[in-house]
């Protein structure tokens, strides 16, 4: 298998980036050779820096472009990525081209999980100045408003992106409340939200309004309090078992 790793040294800048990423993910599962994987990771980082831009994504399959975009932060620090993508969003047309890669799908708009996941996944690559502008836009916030937006504007994917932003906060709150309620009602350890929800929480804390930030902090405080009580109860139960076992052994 080391031979397979070494053969990746032959893959230079003209190699399809998708192929290298797939090779890396396969070898990561199958090969225990961190040094060689690190070398391959550096190759991928270099290719992203040299090749990866809007025009490149337009030239490959949409599914490959979306894959490369959404897993980029597996290979590079998000702040470095933002330094590369800063110039991608110079005007509405450029933003629309970018969002088309993320939001072009056949799913119904009621698939809120996909909409919110796409929103969170795409906004990570945008400069803070653009994100603040997006968070200040309150419409479209319903499917009817979105339909009107698509009829009147030439940027339908931007409309879907803003619509996803406007359902995003309530979706994140509902997911956290659901985790909380299931844990409390079943008296079990607190579950963890999906990664895109965790990233969404970070976005709300950074760009949300004061009411949204307060709501997130309130829920997190309640969840932390439950976790502390739950852990104390488990520790007390374990201590009781140990004491009973000592009595029985005695």
147-179 tens-digit pLDDT: 999 999 889 999 999 999 999 999 999 999 999
Long-range contacts of 229-236 (CB under 8 A, 24+ apart): 230/187, 230/189, 230/190
9-52 tens-digit pLDDT: 434 444 588 888 988 888 888 877 788 888 889 989 989 988 88
Burial of 61 (0-12, 13-18, 19+ CB in 10 A): exposed
For residue 95, give the H/E element and its range.
helix 92-103
76-89 tens-digit pLDDT: 888 888 888 888 88
Separation of alpha carbons 85 and 125, rounded Å = 7
pLDDT of 206 higher than 70:
yes
Which of 48-57, 101-110, 143-152, 218-227 is least confident? 101-110
Q: What are the residue boundaries of the structural domains of the chain, listed by start?
A: 1-87, 90-250
Q: Which residues lie closer than 8 Å to 241 by C-beta, 6 or more apart?
A: none
pTM for the whole thing? 0.79
Q: What angle do CA 59, 64, 66 make, to 5 degrees?
A: 100
Which of 193, 190, 191 has the alpha carbon at shortest distance from 231? Answer: 190
Separation of alpha carbons 224 and 218, rounded Å = 10
pLDDT of 192 higher than 70:
yes
């Amino acid at each position: 298998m080391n031979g397979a790793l070494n053969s990746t040294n032959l893959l230079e800048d003209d190699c399809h980036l998708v192929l290298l990423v797939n090779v890396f993910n396969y070898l990561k599962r199958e090969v225990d050779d961190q040094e060689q994987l690190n070398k391959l990771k550096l190759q991928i980082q270099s290719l992203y820096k040299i090749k990866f831009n809007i025009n490149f994504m337009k030239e490959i399959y949409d599914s490959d472009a979306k894959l490369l975009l959404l897993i980029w932060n597996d290979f590079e620090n998000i702040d470095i990525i933002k330094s590369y993508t800063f110039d991608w969003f110079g005007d509405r047309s450029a933003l629309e081209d970018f969002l088309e890669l993320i939001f072009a799908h056949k799913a119904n708009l009621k698939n809120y999980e996909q909409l919110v996941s796409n929103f969170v996944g795409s906004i990570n690559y945008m400069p803070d100045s653009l994100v603040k502008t997006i968070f200040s836009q309150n419409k479209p916030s319903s499917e009817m408003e979105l339909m009107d937006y698509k009829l009147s504007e030439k940027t339908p994917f931007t409309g879907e992106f803003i619509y996803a932003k406007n359902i995003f906060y309530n979706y994140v709150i509902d997911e956290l409340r659901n985790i909380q309620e299931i844990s409390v009602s079943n008296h079990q350890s607190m579950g963890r939200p999906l990664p895109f929800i965790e990233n969404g929480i970070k976005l709300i804390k950074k760009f949300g309004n004061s009411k949204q930030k307060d709501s997130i902090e309130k829920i997190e405080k309640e969840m932390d309090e439950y976790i502390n009580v739950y852990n104390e109860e488990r520790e007390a139960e374990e201590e009781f078992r140990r004491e009973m076992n000592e009595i029985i052994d005695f």
